[in-house]
Amino acid sequence: AGVMLVPERKTEDGFEEHFGLNYLGHFLLTNLLLDTLKQSGTHSHNARIITVSSATHYVGKLHLNDLQSRCSYSPHGAYAQSKLALVLFTYRLQHLLTANGSHVTANVVDPGVVNTELYKHVFWVVKAVKWMTAWLFFK
């Protein structure tokens, strides 16, 4: 599950929606499954954690004093921050898994331009440019 560029709103638990769904939900699920994954990985076949992020994380800034974007809300900034947090979590998790000799790998990927409902909150001009670019370059 994930969201992109939604208007300012909160999850049922009171978190900024991008951060709650794109980061906290994945963080929680990964940690709930981690012991099972560690038990299922073997020397010849690692268990895998694949996290889907976005190249947008490159422009993200992690505001540790304002993870909920209360000071100033921007849909793009909130989305980028959530994806940056996810990338940093995955990098740190892989470091810890390696240090502990675990047979689990954690990877983060950017799927590129895909046809999903994530773009429903994007201005129509941006949608048109995105789809034309995808049609021309990513066939």
Amino acid of residue 6: V
Tokens of 98: 């390696």
What is the sign, positive or negative, of the torsion defined by CA atoms of 15, 21, 23, 28? Answer: positive
For residue 91 the two structure tokens come to: 């990098």
Told to judge if 79 belongs to the known catalytic residues of this protein, a careful annotator would answer yes
Ramachandran sector of residue 67 (left: φ over 0; alpha: ψ -120 to 50; beta: rest): alpha
Which residue in 74, 72, 33, 78 sits closest to 51, CA to CA?
Answer: 33
Catalytic residue among 23, 58, 79, 91: 79
Torsions phi, psi for 65 (to 5 deg): -90, -5
Question: What is the DSSP code (8-state) at residue 2?
Answer: -
Catalytic residues: 79
